[in-house]
Structure 1
Amino acid sequence: MQQTTVEMDPMTFQVVDQGGRITVEEMDPAVLFRDGNRAFEAGDWATAARKYGLVHAQFPESRFAIVSAYNAALALEHDGKCEAALPLYRHVVAKTSGSKDAQDALFRVAACGETLGRWELTLETCDEILRPHNPTIGIVDRIGARVHRGFARQKLGQLALAERDFKEALAEFQRHLDVPALGKSPEVSLAQFQIGELYRDLFASIRFKLPTDRMARDLQDKSNFFLMAQSAYLKTLRLQHANYAVVAGYRLGALYEVMYDDMMAAEIPPELTRDEVEEYYEELRSKIRPLLVRAIDIYERNLRMGQRLGTTSDWVERTETNLARLKEVLRQDSTREAEAQLRQPN
């Protein structure tokens, strides 16, 4: 008679208090893992995290233990509990060091850092992912790690280092255009977009101040940053990623809008009479009206692009709001100009 031995994970039972209702739960790691999967697929994050967490805590030697720790962390992250997810991700990293599983867990640690606004954590984690001795990292993940490290550096005020990360990521993208997975990579679009954001912030920080020689320098610097931001946003638009194209289109229109607003808010010499001030603003509006017209055109194009891409984000709503405002400003300018012409003697 032949004897067959089947190895099975240990099975126990546990009394569980579910809001005052006492139940006996089967503590079989396979059953708990299956129940966790079902809860996860249903979007029941709390139940999924609890089921997976039981496997991780009660059956550390089970073949389900590592994946359950990762899945429990992912469920907690989905449930908005990134702080509780972090030690579970770190546990996976420690147990699977040097593997693709460890790398995936590190990316989730970096993402949790972003969610929590813990930029140092994101920066340090991306450094860990990009260490040269990591044998598993591929081009897609390498670009992703560089971009998210750049984003963390940007948030920490390390602007030059952030720009370098973004540009290195884009350079790697250009060297690997034959990789299908990079075709619609959100990280590539994010890198290009964030370069625009870096220069937009510098552009927006400049205000036109007297004396006139300083104002001339301000105009030169602001115009240069305008062009740099504009170029980055246009490149983002060409990548046509649904999550970033409409945002870039909005930012592009806003560059023209902000330039108009800042020029209208420029300091004027205090010695000007009331009539001279009115004449100054009338002439200024006439000269910079093309900024309004261009912004309106871009916003209208952006709305059409949003419809084409099926985007319903709040950036579409912001575009609509700004478009309505600029059309009203342009209407008021036209009315003001018509009234001024009527006041002129024949």
Structure 2
Amino acid sequence: MLTPMSRSLVRLALVVLAGAPVACAGKSAGLVTPEDAAVTVQPGEAAAAAPSGPATLPDAEAALAAGDAARAVALFSGYLGGDPDETGVRQAYLGLARAQELLRDCAAAIRAYDAYLARFNDGPADLFARRGACYAELGEWKASADSYGEAFARATLPSAKVEALARQGYAYFELGQLDQAEPLLQQADQVFVASQEAGSERFSNYYFVGMARFYRAAVWHRRFRDVPIRLPEKQMTEDFARKFALLEKAQDAYNETIKAKHMFWVSAAGFQLGSLFEEFYDAMMHAPVPDWLDDKQRQVYYEELKSQLRPVVNKAIWVFEKNLATARRLGYESEFTAQTEAKLSELQAVLLAGDTTLGKPHPPLAPEARPEIAAGEIASASGEPSPVDRKLFVPELTPL
């Protein structure tokens, strides 16, 4: 249920494992040979980027370290065009890919990674993870999932395994393949829990733990939404029971996300949890009514239903209030907190206005709810991702 936010929200920069934030241009990456890992430099940058003498690997690495990506691309490409040794070729292709990432050209970065793999047949987990993130930036979700699968197979640290599984699970989520996504997201959490119990690694942060738990909750949330409420009454009873069971699973999973204690995902899960209760209210309120009820009976039915569902509204308000209070106490601001505040104001206004629909169903509390669910990237007021959220490619914020 991610917020009623449009898909036009600014994308979070992809953060490569080396720590440099990347957001790549939306070009398609094709199949390549090693020679295809060509220079991609804007016309105005060509003169400044061109090396004045023979390109050397130390010069290319220095340009990359200094953030001069255009010059680094030119130098790495020039070096690869010479007669480098195998060790130098490995280093140069990886440097070239990272420089392309800095130039926001994920398609070119992927070509460099693929050229490396074409030359050496295999690579480190980091290569596959970075390539998977580039594919995600381009919206090529199947390729992203496959690349993260390769990263997981090569990862050794639990934290790297959790990240690969979380991102792979998200890619399948984006593809709508929930049956493939959910086990991967669950496995990511299991790897984390096992590592904590064994004391095998102290995680530097819990971002990907929160991400895995959040999207697992989103899987249950989407399944909750997909359950229709149908007549006759026997069918309706079965549908409600199934829908309520999925609500409980989604609620538990969002609460587990909050326990991961990463504020980005705490805020996201809090908002989604409140919206989950709104959607349950709407499903009950707007369920089909038997045809045999006359007008007077329908009025009595809706008034009784409103009374019975009032605790659901109160629950949604309580969740939104807690989410907002937590964010304010920690000084955290994001689109999630802004949307939480807006939702809270809407619900409070509804209660203060009183019931203007006597004998009729109450208007939907979550009219923006759609079958789609995705998590979202959060941008600061300046339009740039805030430093605290610059942790990875995060999908667009979309209603669940």
The bucket for the TM-score relative to the shorter chain is 0.7 to 0.9
**Aligned ranges 1:241-320 → 2 under 5 Å:** 241-320=262-341
Provide the rounded CA distance (Å) in 1 between the counterparts of 2:46 and 2:190: 59
Q: Quote the residue 1:157 is aligned against.
A: 176
Choose which of 94, 98, 110 in structure 2 pairs with 1:74.
98
Choose which of 180, 186, 195 in structure 2 pairs with 1:167: 186
By percentage of residues, which structure has more helix? Answer: 1
Question: Of residues 71, 78, 92 in structure 2, which corresponds to 1:51?
Answer: 71
- Give the TM-score of the pair, scaled to structure 1: 0.79
Asked if structure 1 preserves the Cα contact closer than 8 Å seen for 2:96 and 2:112, the reply is: yes
The 3 A distance-change label for structure 1 pair 78 and 230 is: farther
- The question of whether the paired residues in 2 share the 8 Å contact of 1:296 and 1:323 is answered with yes
Please, which moves more after superposition, 213-222 or 121-130?
121-130
Query: Partner residue of 2:52?
Result: 26
Conserved 8 A contact 2:70-2:99: no
CA contact (8 A) 1:93 1:103 kept: no
Pick closer, same or farther for the CA change 1:253–1:78 going to 2, 3 Å: farther
Secondary structure of residue in 1 paired with 2:52: strand
Partner of 2:135: 113
Aligned to 1:130: 152
Tell me if structure 1 keeps the 8 A contact 2:93–2:115. Answer: yes
Match status 1:211 vs 2:235: no
**Separation (CA, whole Å) in 2 of partners of 1:175 and 1:241:** 19
Larger relative contact order, structure 1 or 2 (CA cutoff 8 Å, min sep 6): 2
Aligned to 1:228: 249
RMSD: 2.8
Structure 1 pair 332–207 and aligned structure 2 pair: CA distance change class (3 A): farther
Find out whether 1:86 has 2:114 as its counterpart: no
Q: Secondary structure at the match of 1:59?
A: helix
Q: Distance in 1 between matches of 2:281 and 2:248?
A: 15
Say which is worse superposed, 289-298 or 306-315, in terms of deviation: 306-315
Per-residue Cα deviation, 1:194-232 (whole angstroms, up to 9, x for no partner): 110110001112232221111111110010000000001
CA, structure 1 residues 112+255, in 2 after alignment: closer, same or farther (shift >3 Å)?
A: same
Structure whose alpha-carbon radius of gyration is higher:
1
Please give the per-residue CA displacement for 1:54-109, whole angstroms capped at 9, x wherever unaligned. 1221112287764454344334334442112101123344567666xx32121111
Q: Partners in 2 of 1:21 and 1:162 — Cα distance?
A: 43
Distance between the aligned counterparts of 2:46 and 2:241, measured in 1?
Answer: 71
In the TM superposition, what is the alpha-carbon distance from 1:190 to its structure 2 partner? Answer: 1.3
* 1:93-131: CA deviation from partner (whole Å, max 9, x where unpaired): 4567666xx321211111112222212112221232233
> In structure 1, how many angstroms separate the alpha carbons of the residues matched to 2:60 and 2:103?
19
**Does the C-alpha gap of structure 1 residues 233 and 300 become closer, same or farther in structure 2, counting only changes over 3 Å?**
same
Once residues 308 and 142 of structure 1 are traced to their aligned partners in structure 2, the CA distance between those partners, rounded to angstroms, is 32
Output the CA distance in 2 between the equivalents of 1:31 and 1:113: 29
CA distance in 1, matches of 2:203, 2:121: 26
Q: 1:239 aligns with which of 260, 276, 284?
A: 260
Please report how far the alpha carbon of residue 331 of structure 1 lies from its aligned counterpart in structure 2 after TM superposition.
2.3
Q: Sequence identity of aligned pairs in percent?
A: 27
Residue of structure 1 aligned with 2:206, choices 177, 185, 198:
185
**Residues 77 and 96 in structure 2, CA contact (< 8 A), matched pair in contact too:** no
- Quote the offset at 1:330 in angstroms: 2.0
Q: CA deviation at 1:180?
A: 4.7
* Alignment check: 8 A CA contact 2:51 2:71 kept: no
Consecutive unaligned residues of structure 2, counting only runs of 5 or more, are 1-40, 359-400
* Cα distance in 2 for residues equivalent to 1:160 and 1:193: 16
> 1:341 maps to which residue?
none
Indicate if the aligned counterparts of 2:274 and 2:316 stay in contact, CA closer than 8 A: yes
The aligned residue for residue 5 of structure 1 is: none
From the superposition, tell whether residues 295 and 17 of structure 1 become closer, same or farther in structure 2 (CA, over 3 Å): closer
